[in-house]
Amino acid sequence: MFKQLLTTTSFILILISVTANSAFSQIGLGVTYEIRDEKPTNGFGVHAQLALLNLPMVSLSARAHYSNYSEDNSLTVGNVSYNQEIKSSEFGATAIVSVGLGLFSPYVGLGIGWQNFSVESALADQIADEFDIDVDNEENAAKYFGVIGAAVSPIPLLRPFFEYRYAGITKNNLGPSSNGTWVFGLQIRF
């Protein structure tokens, strides 16, 4: 008896989760927390997503995102102090295809973007000024990336998600050299 009740309840819960349909939203605005291996390791981002095509189980959307990473480092030895600020920002556009499996929605995407990386150091700037050396502390490059992730829609308005963004950079010496970023976010859809 208990086995039949458990089997029936499990079947109903699986059926509800697979056949439940979240409300179709045209626009999504989101915030993200992003982690990568290279410095600066942590950052925050914002994005806007627009639904382009919505079929019964598959949807196509376009997303524009901006991410900002910043890290301050300081070292003091005796009377000498060294401070360094590392900044990285990127923006990009991604085409995303998602599959609606009830409240769970896995997705993949391809995108292109632009990355800026800069290192500011007061000591290095002082040495460059002293010896009249021109130091370029900033680099820019185009990037391309692939995205794989999943979103959950427990209620129609809020959509928590996570994704992995694997990027390639068109310039070899642009830091950071890490290729992957973990993204955790929350999207408001309307």
Which of 47, 71, 156, 172 shows the shortest CA–CA distance to 119? 71
Within the chain, how many helices (H) and strands (E) appear? Answer: 2, 8
Classify residue 161 as exposed, middle or buried by CB count within 10 Å of its CB (0-12, 13-18, 19+). buried
Q: Which of 11-15, 126-130, 134-138 has the lowest mean pLDDT?
A: 11-15
Q: What gap in Å lies between CA 12 and CA 21, rounded to an integer?
A: 15
Q: Which of 2-6, 123-127, 143-147, 174-178 has the lowest mean pLDDT?
A: 174-178
Helix H segments across 20-121? Answer: none
pLDDT tens digit sequence for 55-78: 888 999 999 999 999 888 777 778
Q: Give the pLDDT of residue 134.
A: 60
User: Average per-residue pLDDT in the chain?
Assistant: 82
Q: What gap in Å lies between CA 135 and CA 15, rounded to an integer?
A: 62
Strands, DSSP E only, in 41-157? 42-54, 58-77, 80-99, 104-121, 138-152
pLDDT tens digit sequence for 68-117: 998 887 777 787 777 778 888 999 999 999 998 888 999 999 999 998 88
CB of 25 closer than 8 Å to CB of 190: yes
**pTM for this entry:** 0.76
Domains observed in the chain: 2-189 (2.40.160.20)
Q: Give the pLDDT of residue 91.
A: 94
